[in-house]
Each structure stands twice: as C-alpha cells, then as structure tokens.
Amino acid sequence: MNRIKNSFNGLTVVKVLIYAFFGLFMLLPLLSVFVVSFTGEPTNLLGSLTDPAIFNSTLEKFKNISLDNYKRIFSGKGYFSALKNSLALAFTVTIIIILVCIPLAYGIARTKMPFKKTISALCMIPLIVPTFISAYAFIIMFGRAGWVTQIYNALGGEGMLLNPYSMAGVVAVQVFFFFPYALWPLVAAFKVSDISLEEASQNLGAKNWFTFIFVTFPLALPGVISSALLIFTVSFSDFGSPIVLAPKELNLLVVEAYREISGFFNWGGAAILTVVMVIVAAFFFYLQHLYTKGKNYGSVSGKPKQQKLIENKLLTRVLSGYSLFVVLIPLLAMLSVALQSVATTWGKDLLPSGYTLNHYKTIFSTSMGNIQNSIMLATGALVLSVIIATFVSYFVVRQNSAKLDFIASIPLVVPGIAFGIALIQTFNTMPLQLTGTAVLLIIAYTIRRLPYMVRSTMGSMRAIKQDIEEAAVNLGATPLTAAITIVGPLMLPGIAAGSVLVFITVIKEASVSILLAPPEWAPMSLAIFQNILRAEYYSAAAMSVVLVVLVLVLQGIANIIGKKQRL
C-alpha cells in the first residue's frame, strides 16, 4: 500500500520500534514464563543473547527440562485444587450472574417497570469500583462486626448471614460487581430478538411465561452464552476479591500464584500457574470470540421494530423490586465504605459511634505520595499508550497490518497477575534489570490497557478517509505535516476518550500494582491493599473514597468527550 509515495522512512523505524516493544515486554516475558514452567528455575533468555556464560547455563537448564511441574498440577493436591477451585468459582459466578441478570435485563429491555432510569444508572456503580475495594466493602457489611450481621443477629440469626472470608464471599462480591458486564449485552439481546415471533406465540393463546421460556429466551440465547463466556474470563482472572477475601485454606490460582512468587520465590511454581491461567483465560476468550463472530446479536442492523413495552402492574412491580435489590447492594457497599471513612469507630453498634474527617486528614498528609504516584504512573502509562496506540492504529488501518492488530490484542487474554509474574521473572536480572522500577510498572500498565486505547484510536482513524490525508499532501504538505495538522486533530476525540479510559483503569488496577510496585512508587491501590492487610480499615476506606471519586470525575469527563465525539 505505498499509496502515499515517498512516505517518510521514519514510519518504518517506528513500526520496528513498536514490534520491538511488544516483543521485549510482552512476548518475551510470556515465552520465558513458558520456558520456566518446564525448567523449574529462573531462565534468563534475554541474557542468553548477550552473555555467553548465561547462554551456557541456559543450555544446561534446557537439558533439565521436565514435565514435573505439569505432573504436579494434575496429581498434587495444591495446584490441582487451585485450578479446580478457580474453575468452580468462575463457573458458579457465571451461572449466578446469568440467572440474576435475566429478569433484570428483561425488565429493562421489555417492560415499563418503575424506577427503570434509576436502576440503569445504579448499574454503573459496580463498573467504577475496583474489586479489592468491593471485597473490602463486603467485609464492612457482612464481617463479624458488620452492620448486616448485626441486623441479622438482632432478627434472631446465628453467626453471620454470609461469611465474606469464604468461597461464598468471593462469589457474592464477584456476582454483585461483575453483573453489568453481562447485563448490557443481555438487554441488547432481549431488545433485538424478533418480536413478531413472540406476538405470534401470544396470538396463539400462549401465556406470558410460556412465551418467555419457549420463545423469548431461546431467541436471546446467543447473547446469554456470549455474556456467560465473558463473565467466566473476567471472574477467572480477577485478583482483587480473592486476594482480600480468600482464606488460607481456599486455594485459588491467582492467589496461589501470587503467594508462590511474593512469599516463596518459587519461580517454577509461579510459572506453571501462570501458564495454566493464560491458557484457560485465552481459551474462554477465544470461545467467546468464536461465538460472537458472525452472530452480531448485540448490534442492531437497520431500524429495530418499535416494541410495545409490557405494562402489567404485578409483573413490573415485582421486577422493579427485584432489580432495586440487586443494584442496591453495590450502592450500599460503597456507602458503607464512605461511612467508615468518616467514622471514629464502627463495629460495636449498627452505626458508627462518632464522625470525623481525621482519616481524610491523615491520608492527605501521610499518603499524599500514593495519590501522586497513582496519577504519575497513570499519566506515564497514558502517554506511552497514546503514542503506541496511535501508531498501531495507523499501521493497522492504513497499512492493513493484521499482525500488529493481533499482537496488540493479546493483553486482553492475559490475566493481570499472570502478566505481572511474567514481567518480574524476565526483568529481575541483567541485562535489563527493571523489576522494582517505575519504568516496568508503567510498561506493564501500558501493555495491559493498550487494547482499550487501540480500539478507541482505531475507531477515529477508520473514520478519517484516506482522501482527506491525500488532499493535504496534494496541497503541499509532507506526510508528516499532514499527520500533524489533519490526522492528529481529527483523531483527538478518540485519543482523549481512550486516554481517560486508560487513566481510570490504571488507577483501579490491583494485580500489577500489588505485584510490581516498589515501595517508593506505591500507588493508591497498593496503599489501600496494604491498609486492609494491616487492618487499618479507616484509612483504607478514606483512600478508597478518594480513588472512587477520582474515577467518577474522570468517567464524567469521558462521557462528555464521548458525547462531543458523536457530532
């Protein structure tokens, strides 16, 4: 596609640099984790290329390649039960979420239930809150001294209504904070499925519930399955809630991998767990991709037929009550965190014994550094991803580089904790010793969130027709000047929207932060996590509120930009 003749060769250099970036910081770490999972000890692949001594020792290690680790996972109790538990968790969460979402989605898509707007708006909350904060909120609510527990006991219940420190606790958090991922696709599926068939069924005298079970639901089934696969991947890869809630005796892959690396420096063990995680996550992601490909259930082609919304009083009221209950729990969870952040002490009674702003004072005096770190790290990741994503979209859109498109979407399937482990292993020795530096942290954030950015910039790049660029060149501009004065400004809305998204997700990011951040670069998420571990709940609460507010503000900005973009 050498359409623009004499394109500056600088572009080729940039392309090589981008490949080198992905190769060095994504493919190499994943490859070396794979190798370590066989050798069982750290293997310095990069060093082998630069230093003959390391090369020889690597060769030695290659001779010791064995399937021992893999045998362990299928025979030994520890790893195998971790895999089993993780799959069970993801499976349970998926089933429950789908069951929870079907009435909710039906209510939003097909009925005139009361409070529909409020319910839809409240569904945003779970998406804003990082899961380690939600998990912690559940401790405030359902823990031994939690207010829900107190109400439960006052009503005559024994012990705890729900023990947050258990598999059930993890499941509950994930259900209430991941359900929106399934909800919106399901709403779309219910909206799109062919209404005339339902009408036909009703004309034949079928009852409403009969129509739903045998006509409406089967029509929405593709949407249901695809959402289920998505939820499965999300739940399986989630690190925030298990790390806060999973008790010692509950083995989960993500927690186990984290403990192997941060507690025991067991490289082989961490590597094998990482490989298993990546394979499972990639497999389900692939299934989902395969399933949605060509189905296109969510997008409406042409004008959808205007549907009549159901007005049946009893049905809409029941649905509305149920939906309010579902969306109220995340809201209450966040309010609990907010309340704790201004409480002097809370636990003896239903409400705090007094109120104070001291916790905020404390974090703004002692933990300002964490806030700054978060912002600086997120800014760094943002700048890096803007640059990379812009060029990646240029190469993908203008030069049809399918390879780059594929590579840039790999991070979607690698769980954060797995990627973190891969990076630590690869860069903890010479020649490129980056573990424990802010640079590696920024690179990790960048790669993890790049797919969002690329999607955003690629959208705006596609919208710029080739001939607009050519017109600029025709009017005398060099390709570079045309890029700066025409392509750049036209891509700006896409870049801005993607930037906010990257910024938000980096601030929310738990797994990579916890694994990779050095003490002097500890971001807010790590500080909150450590506070929770140290049982400093009040500071954790105040910091969480600051984080959520920051995210909310940014989300607001993103929405405004998004509206402007659709001129």
Partner 1 sequence: MGSVKIKNMTKTFGDFTALHDINLDIEEGEFFALLGPSGCGKTTTMRCIAGFENPTSGSIYIGNREVEKIPANRRNCGMVFQSYALFPHMNVFENVAYSLNIKQLNASNPIKQMGIYARLLTKRFGKYPDDLKKKVMEILEYVELENHAERLTSELSGGQQQRVALARALVMEPAVLLMDEPLSNLDQKLRHSMRNTIRTIQQDLGITTIFVTHDQEEAMSMADRVAVMDKGQIVQIGTPTELYSNPSTPFIANFVGTSNILKGTVEGEENGFTVVKGEGFLLRSSTKAKKKEVDVIIRPEHVKVEAADSVIDHATTNVIEGTVIMSTYLGSIVRYDVQVGSYQLVVDTTYSSGANIFEEGKKVKLTVDHERVLLI
Which residues lie near partner 1 (CB under 8 A)?
2-6, 465, 467-468, 470-479, 481, 484-486, 488-490
Whole-number Å distance between alpha carbons of 257 and 358: 37
Listed in sequence order, the DSSP H helices in 158-266 are 167-192, 195-203, 208-211, 217-237, 240-245, 253-262
Tokens of 65: 């390649």
**281, 233 Cβ separation under 8 angstroms:** yes
CB of 198 to partner 1, least distance (A): 41
Minimal CA–CA distance to 97: which of 231, 239, 191? 231
**Residue 355's beta-bridge partner residues?**
343
In terms of Cβ atoms closer than 10 Å to its own Cβ (0-12, 13-18, 19+), residue 237 is buried
CB of 505 to partner 1, least distance (A): 28
Closest CB 465 distance from partner 1, rounded Å: 7
Q: Name the minimum Å distance from CB 481 to partner 1.
A: 7
Query: What distance in Å separates the CA atoms of residue 50 and residue 54, rounded to the nearest whole number?
Result: 8
For residue 406, the minimal CB distance to partner 1 (Å) is: 24
Burial tier of 64 (Cβ tally within 10 Å: 0-12, 13-18, 19+)? exposed
- Residue (469 or 509) nearer to partner 1, CB: 469
How far apart are alpha carbons 489 and 145 in whole angstroms?
55
65 vs 468 by CB, closer to partner 1: 468
Nearer to partner 1, 350 or 484 (CB): 484
> Rounded to the nearest 5 degrees, what angle is found at the Cα of 234, between the Cα atoms of 233 and 236?
65
| 3-state class (DSSP) for residue 9 | coil
CA atoms within 13 A on the CB side of 548: 26
CB 65 within 8 A of CB 39: yes
**To the nearest whole angstrom, how small is the minimum distance from the Cβ of residue 495 to partner 1?**
14
Nearer to partner 1, 412 or 490 (CB): 490
When the beta carbons of 362 and 478 are compared against partner 1, the nearer one is 478
Per-residue tokens: 307? 């549907």
H helices then E strands: how many in the chain?
Answer: 29, 0
Residue 279: CB atoms within 10 Å: 12
Residue 355 DSSP one-character state? B
Nearer to partner 1, 202 or 478 (CB): 478
Q: Which is nearer to partner 1, 8 or 210 (CB)?
A: 8
Minimum separation from the CB atom of position 563 to partner 1 (A):
17
Residue-wise burial string across 527-559, b where 16 or more C-beta atoms lie within 10 A, e elsewhere: bbbbbbeeebbbbbbbbbbbbbebbeebbebbe
Q: How far is the CB of 482 from partner 1 (least distance, A)?
A: 8
User: Least distance to partner 1 from the beta carbon of 564, Å?
Assistant: 12
The Cα 16–Cα 282 span in angstroms is 27
Nearer to partner 1, 56 or 400 (CB): 400
C-beta of 304 vs 488, nearer to partner 1 = 488
We find the least distance from the C-beta atom of residue 562 to partner 1, in angstroms, to be 18
Shorter beta-carbon distance to partner 1: residue 477 or 557:
477
